[in-house]
Structure 1
Amino acid sequence: MGFTKDQLNRFKPWFVGLNLGLAKLKKLDVDAGLGLDIHFLNKAHEQGIEILELEIPTSQMEMLASLPENIQMDYLSYTLGEYTKIDSTFHEVLDAWQNGDTERTNTLSRVKMRELEDEMPGMEEYYNRMFCEREKQ
């Protein structure tokens, strides 16, 4: 990530966890600019279609920052524990997705969610805030 231990100690746990995940994806050569969202945004812009975004970029960060400290620590601990496993998990999911194997993709996702529930005590609140409450806004 490029930070010293002292520098990391100045950040909230959610910020460190998020950046660890992003750094790992960068190491895996994942290019956020190649996502489906970017693809369709570019197509819309090419065709002069106005896009009304449902969420501003800072919304997710504000949600993470508002999590209780214990859940932020759970998130960081989970991220640290998964850091070395991400390579194989990522490639397994990517392979299933690229081959159109929706059953395998869904199974891998469900397994990962069960692991999250077991390993991250605050997962239910995290999930509700990240996915359910944001959908209501």
Structure 2
Amino acid sequence: MRLSGASYMGATNDKDALALKLFSKIVSFRSALSAIAMAFALPACAQVAPKPVQAANDADPALWVVKDKDTTIYLFGTIHVLKPGMTWFDEAVKTAFDRSQQVVLELVMPDANKMQSLVMATGVAKDGPTLTEQLPADKRAAYAKAVTDLGLPANAFDRFRPWLAATNLSIAPLSKLGYDSENGPEHVITAAAKAAGKPVIGLETAEQQLGYFGGLSQKAQLQFLGTTIDELPELETTMATMVDEWAKGDPEALAREMNDSLKDSPEVAKVLLVDRNARWAEWVANRMKSPGTVFVAVGAGHLAGQDSVQAQLAKLGVKAERVRY
């Protein structure tokens, strides 16, 4: 596979293919070091049986409900990748799912060929300065190390736009730490919905999600990549902390963790978190006009903090209540 004429500064075609395959396996977002990773869906929609768990580790993640006399909408925050052995699809979460006639995720993944085409159109630059050349000199060595730690040549991502390199670098290492999208809520929920015959729709399309990244200014993209490079050494600790906060149902702690990662990137925060929360809140408010029960599962970062979906709903006069269990 060739990248429409793009080359990686001497990398072989096989390496080109490997780099893009890597992205197609881990794409979206969303980056375990920030709310961005919580905000975007990994390709967890493949209908593959979850891997057997070794030992149960009970989790009680946060769940909210919005309801009136004939409509109920549950809001469940997910972490897109998890280690095996954590039990969360039970108790109130499973009850809410079972009661729902429809499941709503951030994204229902398109087929692999379409996704690859979208990634190439949005995240690959055919010419111009290489990504290494665009980075500040003091970031280049750490960037090269991060890429080679993935088993790729240091220049493998040099035709990638900064946002695409950042998402690869922040998500790809998680598999080495034992995290897998097959254990993530999106995969489990999608499989359960298929088994139960429940329709599954997405709040956004792949075109939209990739467009949010591609629409970021070059300055914001390079800041995103620079922050990712700086925080990679703490990835294992950061991810473990976020999963623990999610498992305990502590959205405020989760919000503090994420807000710290976004403090230097106001444009990224606005485009990928705040604006999307507002749109999703409008979707929920409009859906309340039709009867039925809906189970909405989005990245936990969207349901935490002062700009959360719940906060946006409050501005629309719609109250979301925490489900205690």
What is the TM-score normalised by the length of structure 2? 0.37
- Kindly indicate which of the two structures has a greater share of residues assigned to helix: 1
Unmatched 5+ stretches in structure 1: none
Q: Which residue of 1 aligns with 2:154?
A: 5
- Distance in 2 of aligned mates of 1:134 and 1:116: 15
Q: For each residue in 1:68-121, what CA deviation from the matched residue of structure 2 results, as whole angstroms up to 9, or x when unmatched?
A: 0000000000000000111112223333444x262xx6325404413531xx2x
Unaligned ranges ≥5, structure 2: 1-149, 281-325
- Contact 1:24-1:83 at 8 Å conserved across structures: no
Higher strand share: 2
Q: Give, as a single letter, the amino acid of the residue that structure 2 aligns with 1:82.
A: E
Corresponding position of 1:113:
259
Preserved CA contact (<8 Å) 2:245 2:254: no
Gap change, CA 1:112 and 1:133, over 3 Å in 2: closer
Query: Over aligned residues, Cα RMSD in angstroms?
Result: 2.1
Q: Is the 8 A contact 2:162 2:222 kept in 1?
A: yes
Task: Tell me which residue corresponds to 2:215.
Answer: 66
What corresponds to 1:49 in structure 2? 198
Which runs of structure 2 are paired with 1:1-137 in the superposition (5 Å)?
1-98=150-247, 100=248, 102=250, 106-117=252-263, 120=264, 123-135=265-277, 136=279
Residues 37 and 4 of structure 1: CA distance in aligned 2, closer, same or farther (over 3 Å)? same
Amino acid at match of 2:213: L
- Structure 2 contact 246–254 (Cα < 8 Å) conserved: no
The runs of 4+ residues in structure 1 deviating greater than 3 Å are 95-98
Letter in 1 for 2:266: E
What percent identity do the matched residue pairs reach? 24
Distance in 2, Cα, partners of 1:92 & 1:24: 16
- 3-state DSSP class of the match of 2:201? coil
**Number of residue pairs matched?**
130
| Structure-1 separation of matches of 2:246 and 2:223 | 29
**CA distance in structure 1 between the partners assigned to 2:160 and 2:194 by the alignment:** 36
**2-side partners of 1:114 and 1:133: how far apart?**
18
Judge which range, 77-86 or 106-115, deviates more.
106-115
